[in-house]
Amino acid sequence: MRSDAMKKGLEKSPHRALFKAMGYTDEEIRRPLIGIANSYNEIIPGHIHLNQIAAAVKAGVRMAGGTPIEFSTIGVCDGLAMNHEGMKYSLASRELIADSVEVMARAHPFDALVLIPNCDKIIPGMLMAMLRLNIPAIMVSGGPMLAGSFRGKEINLITVFEGVGKVRAGKMPAKMLQVIEDAACPGCGSCAGMFTANSMNCLTEALGLGLPGNGTIPAVSAARQRLAKAAGIKIMELVKKNLQPRDIATLSAFKNAIAVDMALGCSTNTVLHVPAIAHEAKISLPLSLFNEVSLKTPHLCSLSPAGPHHLQDLDAAGGIPAILSELAGVGLIDTTVMTASGKKLADNLKGKRILDKAVIRTVNDPYHAEGGIAILYGNLAPDGAVVKQSAVAPEMLRHEGPARVFDSEEQAVSTILGGKIKKGDIVVIRYEGPKGGPGMREMLTPTSVIVGMGLGKDVALITDGRFSGGTQGAAIGHVSPEAAEGGTIAFVQEGDRIRIDIPEKTITLKVNEKELARRKKGWRPPEPKIKEGYAYRYAQWVTSGSTGAVFKEKP
């Protein structure tokens, strides 16, 4: 056992003494030691109940003959960090989380890990650590929040964000927004809807690193507790088999996950996180692969914010196993891959089928023939840009308009709320990329306000930052290279014409090369917006959004 390095033999007597200081018995020390990485805290709704999940995991580990040892990680709530300096630290926290789990597992050589995340950067951060360490491991999330209810309709956090725009536009009284605010988030769990957290929890399951149900069982359900116990029991089986994460997360498994991503219409943030996770598995996933998979994978689910359904509906309709089974039926899923259940995917999918075709459509009756996400290329984004095409109104799939240029999110939001953005405009927000932000802030506030003010079918938004999974509309993010690296987006001027053609996967700044060359002469990157601390160091190490915003391998 790996843990023998800190507990076995005469020379490890002092180490055992330290275990005994914490109350561990000789029998507990002799057993396999299972690290339980718990991201519980009191600042994220998706994490407020994770101590209960951890308790269930530890019960399962003990039932199967192991000794669970819990430790913690940090976590940022993207909703609470939104639209102020805090969002500069959200994506950056992903690397800290991965590093912290790695440090704990290398300093204390556990025999295996069970990782308990539940929100935007914590899930991919823990997955990155899992694949970097490559010791037996399994993930079990805290599960999705239930949708709220207002006047007989399901609502969620995005309803509140969009309500701000409606109030500013005079379409809703402020008192009604307060009622919605009180009802939108009814309890614990990752925010209802196919936002980033739920996208990543579903893709963890599709990738095979979480048990069936990981992505969709509601946080408040007793089934979530049973799943956690099952994960605790299952990790002991993985230890005996020495089944490691890289045995599961193969290139075929990543392609499976991308196919599910497209069928679900997941958050555009998956295009940041999935390549970063693959990077830790020593697998290269170019952005072009997303388009390749999208072109042949039908979009089967219309979940909030693009559609009427929520995660509890997806769970009742058969969940991720039903989607995998439906896609496998037409050869879009490799069912020979291994999973954290200790079985091949084909075994996990036996008897699984769609239970509600209103929530999960069949491949013969999709919402769209192509998947939910598209990668756009052109002179404005030579290395690519990302759009959630399943959430774009048909009339905005092809659009040309004048650029309205802003060097920060705050400038853009002030102008939008001031009623100075008109129909047909293309809002460009730059110097918000991984390096320039720093931290590649999510732009949920400007997109939600645009939708709330009734401009969602008339105004596009382009940024080298990124968007929340709750974003809808013609919102194009991850423009690479970013402005801070001298990308073309740095040289867009007010009034320039921009052409967006999502079906053709192109994004074009209609300025000739000679004029662009003139604008680039003498350009220097601006001074860092943050000049000290972690965010400053992050900006020195981070790479482009097109590479998953991973750190450089060398200084």
Q: Strand 33-38 to strand 67-72: parallel, antiparallel, or no bridges (unpaired)?
A: parallel
Q: Indicate if the alpha-carbon torsion angle 359, 360, 365, 369 is positive or negative.
A: positive
* Distances, alpha carbon 134 to alpha carbons 54, 70, 105, 280, in Å: 21, 19, 11, 9
At residue 164, the 3 state secondary structure works out as helix
* Distances, alpha carbon 305 to alpha carbons 302, 408, 446, 471, 478, in Å: 8, 25, 15, 7, 20
Task: Report the alpha-carbon distance of residue 474 to residue 447 in Å, rounded.
Answer: 9
Residues with Cβ within 8 Å of residue 429, at least 6 apart in sequence: 406, 408, 409, 411, 412, 443, 446, 461, 462, 463, 464, 465
N residues, the chain? 555
Assess contact for 215 and 190: CB atoms under 8 A. no
Ordered DSSP codes for 454-519: T-TTT-EEEESSB--TT--SSEEEEEES-GGGT-GGGG--TT-EEEEETTTTEEEE---HHHHHHH
User: Could you tell me the two tokens for 378?
Assistant: 């052109």
CA 99 to chain centre: 18
Please tell me which residue in 468, 480, 544, 546 is annotated as part of the active site: 468
Specify the amino acid at residue 184: A
Active site residue 468: yes
Q: Give, for 104, the enclosing helix (H) or strand (E).
A: helix 90-107
Residues marked as catalytic:
468
